[in-house]
Amino acid sequence: MNKRARNRLIGITAIVLIAIAAIFATVGMRGGSAYNMTVKEATSDQSNVGKRIKVGGVVVAGSWDKKSNPMTFKIRDEDDENSTGKQLTIVYSGAVPSTFGDGVTAIVTGELDGSGTIKAGEMITKCPSKYESATGAYSVTDLKKKSDAMKGIPVKVQGVIKAGSINPPGGAVRFIIQNAKGSADELNIAFDGGMPDEAKEGTTVILTGKLNDAGAFETTNISLAK
């Protein structure tokens, strides 16, 4: 290849690369990509308005209603434990993950408007798993035998999450536990918090809470058995 042909090839290659870069930049400006940021970052810069962004934050307790359509909730930054900082309102139109709930970390993708609201169609949740000893925990059978005397008293119960029983938050029953897989003794669990990532069907869990008048176990904490 002579020098003139080589220079021509270099020039054509440069033009192609510039064109590709321009295409990617245009797609980004049109919302084809999302910027990762915290709640504070998203709310402190007005240039974010109108952009497609990805924001992660902790679901503010009591800020959501599963029955609303689309579902609306608020998130705060993880280090804002007293909820004194900025919060973002999320209007979410997708399927609600079964792990969603108070205190869970929700990562949403959508467009930020001028009122501090993100209209999101994508969400994933994260809730670190905790582990606890089963020492002192009732079995499902033992707790049900003493249900009349144990109503309203804080206790621990151990059980296996029944297959096909996990539901999104907001309903009367979040999931069902059994003494063992396939056991006839079952206990309905009421819980609106975030489900640990590893709390799945067939997992043995240790629950802290109390029996209510309907016979369901109102749970305040879910841990995996050590």
Do 117 and 92 touch, CB atoms closer than 8 A?
A: no
pLDDT higher than threshold 90 for residue 8: no
Give the model's pLDDT for residue 159: 96
Q: What is the DSSP letter of 151?
A: B
pTM attached to this predicted model: 0.68
- Range among 76-80, 97-101, 202-206 with highest mean pLDDT value: 202-206
For residues 142-171, give the mean pLDDT. Answer: 93
**CA–CA separation, 23 vs 212, rounded Å?**
59
Q: What band does 90 get if pLDDT is binned at 50, 70 and 90?
A: very high
Give the model's pLDDT for residue 45: 87
pLDDT tens sequence across 125-136: 988 888 999 999
**CA–CA separation, 211 vs 144, rounded Å?**
9
For residues 38-64, give the mean pLDDT. Answer: 91
**CA–CA separation, 114 vs 199, rounded Å?**
38
Secondary structure E strands in 5-100: 35-37, 52-59, 71-76, 87-92
pLDDT higher than threshold 60 for residue 31: no
Give the model's pLDDT for residue 30: 39
CB proximity list for 190: less than 8 A, separation 6 or greater: 172, 173, 174, 212, 216, 217, 218, 219
Q: How far is CA 23 from CA 20, 31, 107, 182, in A?
A: 5, 13, 27, 56
